Amino acid sequence: MVKPATGQVVIGGHDLNSYALGSIREATSFIGQSEIIYPVSIRENILMGLGLSNTVVLDELDKRMQEAAHLTGAAAILDRHGAETILNPCSINGFSIQHTPGKAVIEALNRHSPLRTIGLSSGERQRLVL
């Protein structure tokens, strides 16, 4: 590890150099200022960040989603909006052969209208993508 030219980096009251480099890297996350909330439910946005395999059972997924939301500070968002809420609905462009919106398109637009987008602060968005 590279030592600072001046001063000291302290984590949990201990000098950074007293930790193994691998443990520091494992415990570090990067969150940019342009986080992406996908046009799927809050549950799915949180679970994407966990990188779980397809073999995890549904009850376990819900438990891990709740735990992740608690650890990242997103539990209040989950409580306020519900796990199935789509925070960033996509707009749907689709037309039938007659160049008029098809029935399925109109139904999807009514369910997931961009006008129903739920506003989140930058900090709330970051908590969801951790």
58-79 tens-digit pLDDT = 778 888 889 988 988 889 988 9
- Measured in residues, the chain has a length of 130
H helices then E strands: how many in the chain?
Answer: 6, 2
Q: Is residue 106's pLDDT more than 70?
A: no
Q: Any idea of the CA torsion for 43, 44, 50, 54, to the nearest 10 degrees?
A: 120
More confident position, 51 or 43: 43
% of the chain with per-residue pLDDT over 90: 2
Predicted model pTM: 0.55
What are the tens digits of pLDDT across the range 82-96? 888 887 766 555 555
Q: Map residue 128 onto helix, strand or coil.
A: helix
Q: Where in the chain are the domains? A: 1-30, 33-129
What are the tens digits of pLDDT across the range 13-31? 998 888 888 888 878 776 6
User: CA–CA separation, 117 vs 37, rounded Å?
Assistant: 11
**What local confidence, expressed as pLDDT, does residue 98 receive?**
56
**What local confidence, expressed as pLDDT, does residue 100 receive?**
62
